[in-house]
Amino acid sequence: MLNISLQLPRDRFLLDVDISLDGDSIWAIMGRSGCGKTSLLRAIAGLESGAKGKISFHGQVWLDTDTQMCVAPEQRRIGYIFQEARLFPNLDVMGNLQFARQRACRRDNTFSFSHVVEQLGIDHLLGRRIQALSGGEKQRVAIARTLLNTPDLLLMDEPLASLDWTSKTTILPILRNLQKEFGIPVIFVSHAREEVARLADNMLLIDHGRVKLQGECRRLFISMDSDLISDDGALSILEADVTDHDEDHGLTELSLGRQKLLVNWVNAEVGTRLRILLPAQEVSIATEDLDCLSIQNRLAVTVETMKELGNRNVLLSLSTEGQTVQAVVTCRAVDMLGISIGKPVFAYFKASCLNVV
Amino acid sequence: MLITAIWVTLKLATITTIILLLLSIPLAWWLANMQSRIRPILEAIVGLPMVLPPTVLGFYLLLLFSPNYAAGQAWLSLTGSTLAFSFTGLVVASVIYSMPFVVQPLQRAFEQLDKGLLEAAAMMGAGAMDRFFNIVLPCSRRALVLAGCMGFAHTIGEFGVVLMIGGNIPGETQVLSIALFDAVESQSFEMAHQIAGGLLLFAMVLLVFLYSLDRRSGKSSGSRVC
């Protein structure tokens, strides 16, 4: 459990937060750029000398301005993955990893050298010089270096921001696995909605140095005021269980309560619970059940809320089986179909637009 | 006589360089990280020998070394000899005279060092000393070589200060630049040629080494910092 009660003056605002984060999940700190996300993360790490207040982690006090107590960053046993890899240029890849290993607090098998190197797929890079690595490789080495240091808490500041799409797609699943695989709490900063949806269980939304929302991602993504974050499109997070595989068509069948979903083949056993991301732009609405359509997925839903967006579009929240699907439709479609709150409709979306995490 | 002068010169330059590196590394780090408003004053004091006529420095050092003043008196009662016109006096003077040439490249390198690397090292549990010896110094090794060479070469080239406080005692304070002056005075031009030519060659070789060092590491690392 991480308890934070903190004030830190910034150029344009005062970062002022009072929060408790449980240690068994991945937390995301979201918000527009310059809202204080990174400052908060740096303050937790002890890298902001102007921070005032109290920070404690599992009962161990890191900062208490009242008693003039401030534990140095090097004694907090935090792993910090920066936006840039920050590898030591005077050492090669192996040297960087050993630097962290030699200063590790514990030696246990979860963080064994071979395990970490294998998880991050960097065994072929060990002898390389830092200058000869690509951006994605550097970041993977940086993550490995942090893990080999056996931290008690992992902080990540937009670890994917400086990477291209290919590197992102290789590193995302690794990050998603970190908490499960290594059993340490993770807090990461991001401004990208999809990144948060893929990685985090819980989130904080920060605006001008204050916490606006705090809670489970799946719920906050629905209720969140979309102008509080840089908008890369509304998104729904669904949870569904694997029920069957259709090998002939390369599809996997999932159940969402009593309803069925089809997604592109997923390598998961029957009964596995999966997290699925569905962009609101990809969802179409029909008032009748259509059967002459190429679109494979159809959910019977009820309109819960309607919110007009600036660009003559409407964001619909649709409930089904205790979960919520968001859809963006035009004002014209709302008028023509007579969509209103409480109305049962059908949501259609292609199997290929579903992202399984 | 020439061999003795070469020996005195090399001994002086080596001892001075070692002392200078030991003093300048912490001093340059302190200056590079100093937020205080007195920083420009301290930088000016360190940099003074670069613009001051060496004779001015020599004059004040001569006074300081004199038993008529507290510092010279203390030295005399401690060691039984005066600093003026002694090899030790030359070392003290050379350290002061060559200090800016060692401190400045180091300070510049320390200022340009990516502080993000130090934060990363701290997050891995490296304390201040650990970070300094294992990140700061290895990343500044080019500046260290440069600073050492500059201090060494500048000490070999000094003349005014040596003349003022060291005089011209063969085997004790007669360095090559003084021996050259002596040779010209006494019209031993053959000797003068040997000394002048030798010093010219030495300076040239050292500078070529320093510039090629710059080029080499610039190419291999692709970064200015390390």
Is A105 in Cβ contact with B123 (below 8 Å)?
A: no
pLDDT at A355 over 90: no
Domain co-membership, A138 together with A185 = yes
Domain co-membership, A213 together with A309 = no
Looking up residue A75, the CATH number of its domain turns out to be: 3.40.50.300
Condensed to tens digits (0 to 9), the pLDDT of residues B52-61 reads: 999 999 999 9
Domain co-membership, A188 together with A262 = no
Is B226 in Cβ contact with A89 (below 8 Å)?
A: yes
Domain co-membership, A60 together with A152 = yes
Domain co-membership, A73 together with A152 = yes
Looking up residue B117, the CATH number of its domain turns out to be: 1.10.3720.10
Determine, yes or no, domain membership for B149. yes
Looking up residue A262, the CATH number of its domain turns out to be: 2.40.50.100
Three-state DSSP string of chain B: CHHHHHHHHHHHHHHHHHHHHHHHHHHHHHHHCCCCCCHHHHHHHHHHHHHCCHHHHHHHHHHHHCCCCHHHHHHHHHHCCCCCCCHHHHHHHHHHHHHHHHHHHHHHHHHHCCHHHHHHHHHCCCCHHHHHHHHHHHHCHHHHHHHHHHHHHHHHCCCHHHHHHCCCCCCCCCCHHHHHHHHHHCCCHHHHHHHHHHHHHHHHHHHHHHHHHHHHHHHHHCCCCC
Domain co-membership, A224 together with A283 = no
Nearest to B92 by CA among B43, B8, B155, B44: B155
Condensed to tens digits (0 to 9), the pLDDT of residues B10-53 reads: 999 999 999 999 999 999 999 999 988 999 999 999 999 999 99
Is B125 in Cβ contact with A75 (below 8 Å)?
A: yes
The last residue of one of the domains, among A175, A201, A228, is: A228
Least confident piece of the model among A108-117, A298-307, B46-55: A108-117
Residues from chain B contacting residue A89 (CB–CB below 8 Å) = 117, 139, 221, 223, 225-226
Domain co-membership, A239 together with A224 = no
Spatial separation of the C-alpha atoms in residues A276 and A265, rounded to whole Å: 13
For B51, the domain range is 2-221
Nearest to A267 by CA among A252, A278, A280: A252
Is B139 in Cβ contact with A89 (below 8 Å)?
A: yes
Domain co-membership, A83 together with A155 = yes
Nearest to A131 among B123, B126, B222 (CB): B222
Domain count for chain B: 1
Half-sphere exposure of residue B202, counting CA atoms within 13 Å on the CB side? 19
Distance from CA of B145 to the nearest CA of A (A): 15
The last residue of one of the domains, among A190, A208, A228, is: A228
Mutate: best of B112, B115, B123, partner A, most A CBs <10 A: B123
For A287, the domain range is 235-356
Determine, yes or no, domain membership for B226. no
The last residue of one of the domains, among A180, A200, A228, is: A228
Residues from chain A contacting residue B124 (CB–CB below 8 Å) = 74, 99-100, 103, 145-146, 149
Domain co-membership, A7 together with A102 = yes
Highest mean pLDDT among A179-188, A217-226, A313-322, B211-220: A313-322
Domain co-membership, A82 together with A11 = yes
pLDDT at B225 over 50: no
Section B107-134 average pLDDT? 95
Condensed to tens digits (0 to 9), the pLDDT of residues A46-104 reads: 999 889 999 999 989 999 999 999 999 999 999 999 999 999 999 999 999 999 999 98
Domain co-membership, A16 together with A88 = yes
Residue with tokens 């308890």: A3
Domain co-membership, A297 together with A211 = no
Residues from chain B contacting residue A131 (CB–CB below 8 Å) = 220-223
- Residue burial A292-306, b: 16+ Cβ < 10 Å; e: rest: eeeebbbbebebeee
Section A145-163 average pLDDT? 88
Q: What percent of chain A has pLDDT over 90?
A: 36
Mean residue pLDDT of chain B comes to 89
Domain count for chain A: 2
